[in-house]
C-alpha cells in the first residue's frame, strides 16, 4: 500500500488518493459529491438541479462580462456590475435550494398548470362512464 494510511471522514474509513499526497495537496482539496444510492446530489449545500442552475448562471455572467468588456465599458464598472449580479445569483440559488429542496421547484411549476375548476356543459361524459361497465 506504499505508506498511505487510512483516514476517517464522516465516521467512515477511506484511503486517500496517493497522487494528492505525493503532490503535497491537502485532503481539504478533495470534494465529496456522491452521497450514495437514492440520495440527492449535493455540493456545498446546493441540491440536485440547483447545481446546474448555478453553473448556467455563472456561464451567463462570464459571457456578459466578455460582451461588456469588448463593447468598451470601463473595466471597474464591468467588475462591479458582474460582482453584484453574481452575488444576487448566488443568494437566489441558495435560497431556492433551501426553500424548495430537490423537487419543490418542479412541484411549484406543475401546480401552476393545474386548473382551478372543471366546467362541463353536458352530462354525456358521465353517462358514457356508466355504459362502459
Encode pLDDT of 93-124 as tens digits: 888 888 887 777 777 788 888 888 878 788 87
Residue 20 has pLDDT above 60, yes or no: no
Q: Average the pLDDT over each of 14-18, 90-94, 107-111 and give the range with the smallest value.
A: 14-18
- Which cell goes with 22? 505525493
Angle, vertex CA 58, rays to CA 54 and CA 63, nearest 5? 150
Element (H, E) at 22: helix 18-22
Asked if 61 and 82 count as a contact pair (C-beta separation under 8 A), the reply is yes
Q: Which long-range contacts (CB under 8 A, 24 or more apart) does 38-45 make?
A: 40/102, 45/94, 45/97, 45/98
Amino acid at each position: 500500500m506504499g505508506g498511505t494510511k487510512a483516514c476517517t471522514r464522516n465516521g467512515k474509513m477511506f484511503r486517500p488518493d496517493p497522487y494528492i499526497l505525493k503532490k503535497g495537496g491537502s485532503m481539504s482539496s478533495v470534494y465529496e459529491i456522491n452521497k450514495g444510492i437514492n440520495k440527492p446530489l449535493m455540493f456545498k449545500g446546493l441540491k440536485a438541479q440547483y447545481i446546474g442552475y448555478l453553473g448556467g448562471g455563472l456561464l451567463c455572467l462570464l459571457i456578459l462580462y466578455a460582451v461588456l468588456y469588448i463593447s468598451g465599458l470601463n473595466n471597474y464598472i464591468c467588475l462591479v456590475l458582474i460582482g453584484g449580479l453574481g452575488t444576487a445569483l448566488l443568494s437566489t440559488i441558495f435560497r431556492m435550494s433551501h426553500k424548495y429542496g430537490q423537487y419543490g421547484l418542479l412541484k411549484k411549476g406543475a401546480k401552476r398548470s393545474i386548473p382551478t375548476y372543471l366546467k362541463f356543459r353536458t352530462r354525456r361524459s358521465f353517462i358514457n362512464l356508466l355504459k362502459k361497465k
